[in-house]
Amino acid sequence: MSSSISSLSQNTLSVAANASLNSAPAARPQPAANVAEDTVQLTEAQQVYQLYNQGQTVTQIASSLSLSHAAVNGYLNLNAAG
C-alpha cells in the first residue's frame, strides 16, 4: 500500500485537530459550598492552650470561655498561686 505524503499530512492534521476539539480543558476544583465541613471543633483544653499561647492571661481565658480560674490552671498545669 502506498500513500502520498500530502494525504498522510492531511490525515495527521485532521486527527490532531479532532483530538484537540474533543479534549476537554482540565477541570478546576470548585470551592466547597459548605464551609462547615472544613471547620474543626477544639476541645475546651485545646481552646485554653491556644488562648494561653496567644498571650492571654488566666483571668482573660477563664472569662472568655466561661471557666473557673481553677479549671484554666488545671488545663495549663499551673498551681493556683501561679
pLDDT digits (tens, 9 = 90+) for 64-79: 999 999 999 999 998 7
- pTM comes to 0.51
Predicted confidence at residue 82, as pLDDT, reads: 46
- Output the pLDDT for position 43: 93
Dump the DSSP string for 23-50.
SPPPPPPPPPS-GGGG--PPPHHHHHHH
CA distance 47 to 57: 13
Q: Alpha helix (H) ranges present in 1-82?
A: 5-22, 44-53, 58-65, 69-75
pLDDT in tens, 6-55: 555 555 555 555 555 555 666 777 666 666 678 889 999 999 999 999 99
Predicted confidence band at 5 (pLDDT cuts at 50, 70, 90)? low
Q: How far is Cα 16 from Cα 19, in angstroms, rounded to an integer?
A: 5
